Amino acid sequence: MGLVIHSEKINEESARALTELCPFNAISYDGALHISAACKMCKMCVRKGPAGAITFEEEAAPVCDKSAWRGVAVFAEQHGGRVHPVSLELLGKARELAAKTNHPVLALLIGFETDGAAQELLRYGADEVYVYDSPALKEFVISPYANAFTDFIEKIKPSSILVGATSLGRSLAPKVAARVHAGLTADCTMLEMKDNTDLVQIRPAFGGNIMAQIVTPNTRPQFCTVRYKIFSAPAPDQPHGTVTSMPVDEDMLAGRTTVIKTVKKPDEIDISDAEVIVAVGRGLHAREDIALAQRLADRLGAQLACTRPLVEAGWFDAKKQIGLSGRTVKPKLIVAIGISGAVQFAAGMRSSDMIVAINQDKHAPIFDIAHYGFVGDLYDIIPRLIQKMEEKAHV
């Protein structure tokens, strides 16, 4: 779609009128009329310019045969034969979405010696598991993985594809989506399915100030990534589906990258996996006061976390940040200390089983999602909480 210049209707007089009319100085005339990249598509020249001199024409929307695409697929990320927990969470959500349209739940598994992982996917709700198994796929290399992923889409034609927003998923999903000319919605926080198989992909936009609903009704497949801990994994059951081994040829394994050696990083405690968290925000006056929050965390057996301003101040490592630009957590208990509860932070922790908030502003948004709240000075409340817990411990 775009602006079309009808040269036969352009003369010096009409050209002058159009150049004067454009608020962005995007129209020029040198014997022929030109529209530059400065054009903002305001269509002022169409509405108020000489009749028929410039028109706005839209291309017909492509027609997609939705009946040719069937199934809600999950890319099942695995490492050393162990399925990443986010993939199990996505299987649970995929079953909810597929029930709306009576579609099967599909899982795509790429790796080596994946029999155990395939059976686990069946236990967590997959109806069909499609496996690309080869020694060359043992380690993640983006080109072979993207080749296998694309082959799966072309042969199986899933209507929707869910990918975990891990480091691997965030590098693989855009490459595959571009290959199959599909859009990709990143970091979805909610997903809904329409009766006509259109997937409504909902994510925060403009810094979390609005929730955007994204639908791609004229293209398939529909691609999205979802963060870890956004959805809940279903309870495992007896395997009830089938496992299909997909052919892997030399062309599929071709790539410019070779893995020479894999070095395992030291195990780190990720706040995404923590069952109890104490999170601190700008209500903390000084860096030295982190020790007070740490004392409470130690009494609760909790991990210490923070909001973005404390990372930017250099008080915490970015791995400890909760929110849209940090980690998503879903602990059994989170204590939010001196945190206002802006939407960017709340989006990363609102699914927690129990939220306790401490803030001196009784109108702070954090109290809208908290199950229990303390209104008051954290420097008064936290020492008293610690004292009470120590008294209980000695009873």
**pLDDT average, residue stretch 157-163:** 98
Both structure tokens of 363: 């109108």
**pLDDT average, residue stretch 102-120:** 96
The predicted pLDDT at position 208 comes to: 67
Task: Report whether 229 contacts 348 (CB < 8 A).
Answer: no
Classify each residue of 87-105 as buried b or exposed e, where b means 16 or more C-beta atoms within 10 Å of its C-beta.
bbbbbbbbbbbbeebebbb
Q: Give residue-wise pLDDT tens across range 305-340.
A: 999 999 999 999 999 999 988 899 999 999 999 999
More confident residue, 118 or 266: 118
CA 386 – CA 255 distance, rounded (Å): 57
**pLDDT average, residue stretch 246-271:** 83
- Tell me the pLDDT band of 7, cut-offs 50, 70 and 90: very high
Both structure tokens of 331: 């602990």
The CATH number corresponding to 66-253 among 3.30.1490.190, 3.40.50.620, 3.20.20.80, 3.10.20.600 equals 3.40.50.620
Task: Report whether 271 contacts 322 (CB < 8 A).
Answer: yes
CA 240 – CA 70 distance, rounded (Å): 19
The predicted pLDDT at position 267 comes to: 67
**Looking at the domain that runs over 2-57, which CATH code has it been given?**
3.30.70.20
Cβ atoms within 10 Å, residue 77? 25
- Tell me the pLDDT band of 59, cut-offs 50, 70 and 90: confident
Is the confidence at residue 395, as pLDDT, over 70? no
Is 66-253's fold the same as 271-393's? yes
The predicted pLDDT at position 44 comes to: 93
Integer angstrom CA distances of residue 43 from 1, 35, 137, 374: 12, 12, 52, 55
In sequence order, the β-bridge partners of residue 276 are 333
Q: Which residue, chain included where needed, has tokens 């014997």?
A: 31
**pLDDT average, residue stretch 333-362:** 93
The predicted pLDDT at position 263 comes to: 79
Is the confidence at residue 203, as pLDDT, over 70? yes
Decide the pairing of beta strands 190-193 and 199-205. antiparallel
- Tell me the pLDDT band of 86, cut-offs 50, 70 and 90: very high
Q: Can you list the positions of beta strands (E) in 228-384?
A: 242-245, 276-280, 303-306, 333-337, 355-359, 372-375
- Tell me the pLDDT band of 186, cut-offs 50, 70 and 90: very high
The predicted pLDDT at position 259 comes to: 79
Collapse the DSSP code of 293 into the 3-class scheme (helix H, G, I; strand E, B; otherwise coil) and give the result: helix
- Tell me the pLDDT band of 82, cut-offs 50, 70 and 90: very high
Tell me, what DSSP letter sits at residue 342? -
Both structure tokens of 362: 């009784």
**pLDDT average, residue stretch 157-165:** 97
Is the confidence at residue 258, as pLDDT, over 90? no
- Tell me the pLDDT band of 270, cut-offs 50, 70 and 90: confident
Integer angstrom CA distances of residue 166 from 86, 94, 163, 169, 229: 8, 18, 8, 5, 11
**pLDDT average, residue stretch 145-151:** 97
Task: Report whether 200 contacts 185 (CB < 8 A).
Answer: no
Task: Report whether 82 contacts 92 (CB < 8 A).
Answer: no
Q: What residues contact 74, with CB distance under 8 A and at least 6 apart?
A: 87, 90, 91, 94, 105, 106, 107, 108, 126, 161, 162, 163
Q: What is the DSSP string of 26-89?
A: -EEESSSEEE-TT-----HHHHHSSTTTEEEE-PPPPP--GGG---EEEEE-EETTEEPHHHHH
Domain segments of the chain as ranges: 2-57, 66-253, 271-393
**pLDDT average, residue stretch 177-184:** 94
- Tell me the pLDDT band of 115, cut-offs 50, 70 and 90: very high
Integer angstrom CA distances of residue 357 from 157, 218, 335, 364: 47, 45, 6, 10
In CATH terms, the fold of domain 271-393 is Rossmann fold (3.40.50)
- Tell me the pLDDT band of 1, cut-offs 50, 70 and 90: low
**pLDDT average, residue stretch 94-99:** 97
